[in-house]
Structure 1
């Protein structure tokens, strides 16, 4: 199909729909009254050298609003315009921190545009920061980026485990090869790419984590060791879980174990070697490459990876099996289900287990391919996917997210880290809970 015969992204954009709560629709309406669309159109035509038409629907998020421009050759440009600060913004999120987050996202996209060969990141045509002539003309800071005729993988197929095996292989091979190439860009510190220069070798500078990431630990980093990073992650998750639990007059067992599980993670980081560095090398990582941020065509070919605001350099242990086939259940539960074809969860667990094996295999293939090209992934991501550290971090990410599973997941963390089970695990958790309750605020 030609671009002219395909539906543009705006065909599925919902404009004001879904925003009529907590004053959010009024926020959008006020923004629309202020933004100067004619100035955006003029800039798009000047940058592209082509005549453009602005589509009527728009796509709003919490922080950005996207407008679509269709050029006379039917190619697309997206204007990503910054919305006014979110009314419920984190109290630690200042205007300066928000601008730093944008700066980091822009620097990351510029770095990829100049260095990556197979990572399909949208081209960044221009970024207009606050105070620039164009930003003043439009009424907000914004960036112009490449648009695509495609849908998110999540919208096309919510659960890829439902697809035929050849389609799964096609998707997962692309998914892992992109992540593997990102991982060939290694840095000595953990943080966000804060600056990029085309001069010389096209060097990138790693600075503190950008606000989009650092809401978990404001102004964190850059960190020089994995242990520092995971200690900060664990402490922030613990603080957040306590705050969430305190909002209920009588927290249930799930809330209790969400808090305890985060506290246990902190203990695992400090008392084991699972989150220490064997190789002081930190990969560039998108950090949010789920199916909602992957644009595909009708044949599941990847068109673009979008939303780079969470990107950072990161320890290898942050990599784990993604949705819709995460490895977060206990090994005992998985094996019990797999041995009983009559179990209600047998089909889902079987499909997820097969997808996990395929994902690890394709990651190994991608790393071997890059090794042959002289671009090794060190340390290997594929080798660590089934190891305790990766699984423990994946559990931390899911604590409190699945109703009634926090207790099981906390016990699984303890088993993976220390080998404790049964009464020994229970005794350890009781001791941790006593220590946690005695901890001063």
Structure 2
């Protein structure tokens, strides 16, 4: 099926639907009244050199509103237009910090556009920051990026573990090869790409982290060691968990163990070598390459990886098995389920375990293929996926949310980090809780 016959992305866009609450629809309506769409259309036609039609549906999120332009050759350009600050925006996240985050996303896309031929990041055609002549003409800052006739992998198949094995292999081979390719771009500091210039002999500047700097990393970095970074991660998660627990109406065990789990992660970073540097080589990482950010065609070919706003250089330990096959349960519980075909969780655990093995093997294959071309991934991501650091970090990411297993996850972190279980683990956790209470006064 050629592009002319495929439905464009806007066929799935909901426009105002779903926004009629807490004044959100009125916010969008006011925004639409301020946007001069002919100015956007004019810019699209100037940069493409082709006539274009603007689709009527739009897609809105918390930070951006997307408009679609179909060129006369049926190719697509998407205008991502910055929305006014969300009413629920983090009050500590300043306008300056938000603009810095956008700039880092732009610089990362520029870097990939000029340095990678295999990472399918959308082409960035233009970025107009607030205050530029073109942004003033449109009514907001925006970027023009390449569009694709495809859907997110999440929308096409929510659980890839349900697919035939050959299709899983096809998907996971692409998934891991892209991540391995990104990891060949390594730097000596941990942070966001804040500046890239092809003209200056490809100079790259790794600055402070652009992903919710004020909320997650008060110091902002850039960090020079893995331990500094994970200390900041742990402290930010701990403070966030404390805040959530204080605002919770229920104050249940889940809140308690979210706080404990984050505090214990900080103790693990301080007392073990799990999150120390293997080498002073920090991979470029998308940091959110889940199925919701992968666009695929009807044959599950990866068309593009989208949403690069969280991209950064990062320690190898942040890599872990992704959804829908995370490795967050204990080895004992996994084996118990696998040895009992009558167990209610047998099918899910069997599928996830098989997908994990396939994912790790495909990562090894991707790293080996790159090494043969003189582009090594050091340290290896594939070899660390089953490691304790990777598993602990994956658990930290899952604390809270809708899992309802924070107590189980916390005990698993303790087991992985210190090799203790049962009463010994319970006594350790009680000591950590006493320390938290001492700090609270």
Pairwise same-fold verdict (TM > 0.5): yes
1:231 and 1:418 mapped to 2: Cα distance? 18
* Residues 279 and 92 of structure 1, relative CA distance in 2, 3 Å threshold: same
User: Which residue of structure 1 aligns with residue 283 of structure 2?
Assistant: 283
Instruction: Could you tell me which runs of 5 or more consecutive residues in structure 2 were left unpaired when the two chains were aligned.
Output: none
1:14 and 1:248 mapped to 2: Cα distance? 32
1:172 and 1:249 mapped to 2: Cα distance? 41
CA offsets per residue over residues 264-291 of structure 1, 9 Å max, x none?
0000000100000020110000000000
1:219 and 1:84 mapped to 2: Cα distance? 26
1:211 and 1:415 mapped to 2: Cα distance? 31
Q: Secondary structure at the match of 2:240?
A: helix
2:213–2:220 Cα contact (<8 Å) kept: no
1:214 and 1:67 mapped to 2: Cα distance? 30
User: Which residue of structure 2 aligns with residue 374 of structure 1?
Assistant: 374
1:120–1:305 Cα contact (<8 Å) kept: yes
1:313 and 1:178 mapped to 2: Cα distance? 15
User: Which residue of structure 1 aligns with residue 208 of structure 2?
Assistant: 208
CA offsets per residue over residues 298-352 of structure 1, 9 Å max, x none?
0000000000000000000000000000011121111111110000000000000
TM-score calculated relative to the size of structure 2: 0.99
Instruction: Could you tell me which runs of 5 or more consecutive residues in structure 1 were left unpaired when the two chains were aligned.
Output: none
1:17 and 1:212 mapped to 2: Cα distance? 28
1:108 and 2:102 are equivalent in the alignment:
no
User: Which residue of structure 1 aligns with residue 294 of structure 2?
Assistant: 294
Alpha-carbon deviation of 1:117?
Answer: 1.7
Q: Secondary structure at the match of 1:125?
A: strand
2:332 and 2:406 mapped to 1: Cα distance? 16
1:103–1:194 Cα contact (<8 Å) kept: yes
User: Which residue of structure 1 aligns with residue 124 of structure 2?
Assistant: 124
User: Which residue of structure 2 aligns with residue 194 of structure 1?
Assistant: 194
2:387 and 2:214 mapped to 1: Cα distance? 26
1:332 and 1:401 mapped to 2: Cα distance? 24
1:404 and 1:200 mapped to 2: Cα distance? 51
1:250 and 1:52 mapped to 2: Cα distance? 53
Q: How does 1:383-402 map to 2 (within 5 A)?
A: 383-402=383-402
Q: Which runs of 4+ in 1 moved over 3 A?
A: 211-214
2:325 and 2:27 mapped to 1: Cα distance? 37
2:404 and 2:86 mapped to 1: Cα distance? 31
RMSD, aligned CA: 1.0
Alpha-carbon deviation of 1:124?
Answer: 0.3
Q: How does 1:41-440 map to 2 (within 5 A)?
A: 41-212=41-212, 215-440=215-440
Decide which moves more: 400-409 or 127-136.
Answer: 400-409
1:213–1:310 Cα contact (<8 Å) kept: no
2:50 and 2:402 mapped to 1: Cα distance? 49
Decide which moves more: 144-153 or 249-258.
Answer: 249-258
2:98 and 2:199 mapped to 1: Cα distance? 27
TM-score calculated relative to the size of structure 1: 0.99
2:45 and 2:214 mapped to 1: Cα distance? 36
* Residues 213 and 303 of structure 1, relative CA distance in 2, 3 Å threshold: farther
Decide which moves more: 386-395 or 87-96.
Answer: 87-96
2:319–2:385 Cα contact (<8 Å) kept: yes
